[in-house]
Amino acid sequence: FRCRGSRRESAVAQLSTFGHESTAMNNNASLELQDVFVLSGVPRHTFVQPVEYTRLLVALRTPGRSIVVEGPSGIGKTTAVVKAIEEAGIAARVLSLSARKKEDVSLIRELPSQLPLGTVIIDDFHRLDDGVKRSIADLMKTLADEGAEHSKVVVLGITNAGQSLISFGKDLANRIEIIPFEANPEFKVAELVSLGERALNVAINVRDEIIRDAQGSFYLAQMLAYHTCIRAGILRTAQPAASTTESYELVKGQVVSTLARSFHDTAVTFARGTKLRREGRAPYLHLLYWLSQSKNWSINADREADRHPEQRGSVSQVVSKGFLSDLIRGSEDIQRVLHFDATNRLLIAQDPQFVFYIRNVSWAQLAEEIGFLSIEFPSRYDFALSFAGSDRDIAEGLFRALQEAELEVFYDRNEQHRILAEDVEEYLKPIYASDAQLVVCILGPEYPKRVWTKFESDHFKQRFKSGEVIPIVLSNAPLGVFDSATKVGFIAWDRAKDFNEQLGLAAEMLLKKCGEIRTRKRGGAEPSAALNAGSANAAPASVS
């Protein structure tokens, strides 16, 4: 850009020196540890070509063909692009921009009006707003149609960046090169470690563990090898040759302790969510845990919820209602390490150091620190609701209140799509017999007259003796309508009184009962002052 000469010259100088520095090493040179196993910037002595490197190089040499390089952070995307640009001989006319920098975003907005461009790299593409993304998509199409000799756009983005561009124009798919960088194979990571060992003249005794735990990330391999050498006192090329004798568990522990200073509070903030609900099923905590188990550092929230039915309702709630997006948008710290693609329901880790931290954190300890009563749930549902259709308003209100508290609630209307084509009786029977930790039966005058309420009660009535059924008795239904309900504590509901006030009190008592059970099962029983349903020594009582 003519008006941005100093910014452009700086970027060009940074890129064009890469090749000269990478050839400076020789076998007799003494190299510093931080220049070999690199924690920031482009590695000069431990560069390894990723599997897709040749494809990237050819695309860079193709006139007018713009490129999307997508994949997790730490895989080696940026390093590969910088090296390929140098090898392609176009480093002298490259401008590198990042969507993380405000001044660069203004330059990105100007790109369509600044032809010819040279080669422009746009990093962190996913952070741009849709309007800018759309203009870049149009620019890529124009460059392809014109076969532009002196203009090319290279987008660096997280997983699915290419699809997000194509969503702005299906005809773009055949005009750009989408190159997915996935986890590198172990032999590539091993090559990186070997290059570092050769440069430092050292044999790393835990190289196999480093290769395994890097899980395809060049960055994580660099970090683990760096800290191993630090512990061994290898700060530069060893003369004579040396070998480390470190315990990998101690190396890993030191790395995790170091990373905790940067990421612990961020992980806690995310896992707590928009509001801590101690009795809830910790949906944010579980999303983070599932992400830590993912090999490609991203998860589809809907797919994970389906894989974990005991978390389905709570996770679907925070995703579908926008709470997850709001949580990430509202915290700069979280945005540095996580991104949520709301369109495709993808939660993506952006920082390889954060990934390593959450892979090695104690999840039970983290949950206890945050304040969750439990993260292990023996029942698929916390509550199952049983009611006649005439009392659906109460059931609907309870379902919404309990779901907002991040509990799992079986409510027929919310499960209709799952019941389709199923044997309804076989589907419902285990839910009321055992799959719900507690059954809430709303006893109105129509309850004993309905076929399905009789069916449901036949399968949960034996659970009164174990304190697992909580009746809500309406004022217009005598207790005799259900004999078992006269023997346990119940919640009284008066149709003549304020609906919302009674709903709030009932939901609060159910939450306390759920919390009491969680605490008791964890080993520290807390008696419930609000509701003593099912106690062997308690007199029948109503709570209003």
Whether residue 13 is predicted with pLDDT greater than 50 in this model: the reply is: no
pLDDT of residue 183: 85
β-partners of residue 106 are: none
Provide the sign of the torsion angle of the four alpha carbons 450, 456, 459, 463, taken in this order.
negative
Tell the burial category of 20 from Cβ atoms under 10 Å away from its Cβ (0-12, 13-18, 19+). Answer: exposed
The three-state DSSP-derived secondary structure of 263-277 is: HHHHHHHHHHCCCCC
- Residue-wise pLDDT for 320-358, tens only, equals 999 999 999 999 999 989 999 888 899 999 888 999 999
Least confident of 11-15, 191-195, 199-203: 11-15
Cα distances (angstroms) measured from residue 38 to each of 123, 196, 228, 359, 392: 20, 10, 13, 22, 62
pLDDT of residue 531: 35
Average pLDDT, the chain: 84
pLDDT of residue 480: 61
Whether residue 538 is predicted with pLDDT greater than 90 in this model: the reply is: no
pLDDT of residue 496: 92
The amino acid sitting at 536 is A
Question: What b-and-e string marks burial along 140-149, b requiring 16 or more CB atoms within 10 Å of the CB?
Answer: bbbbbeeebe
pLDDT > 90: percent of the chain: 43
Whether residue 27 is predicted with pLDDT greater than 60 in this model: the reply is: no
pLDDT of residue 378: 66
Whether residue 420 is predicted with pLDDT greater than 90 in this model: the reply is: no
Say if CB 319 and CB 286 are below 8 A apart: no
pTM of the model: 0.72
Instruction: Assign 522 a pLDDT band (cuts: 50, 70, 90).
Output: low
Instruction: Assign 115 a pLDDT band (cuts: 50, 70, 90).
Output: confident
Going edge to edge, which strands form the sheet with 151-157?
94-98, 118-123, 151-157, 66-70, 176-180
- Residue-wise pLDDT for 363-408, tens only, equals 888 888 998 876 777 678 889 999 999 999 999 999 999 988 888 8
- Whether omega for the bond prior to residue 283 falls within 30 degrees of 0, making it cis, is no
Say if CB 251 and CB 227 are below 8 A apart: yes
Length of the chain, please? 544
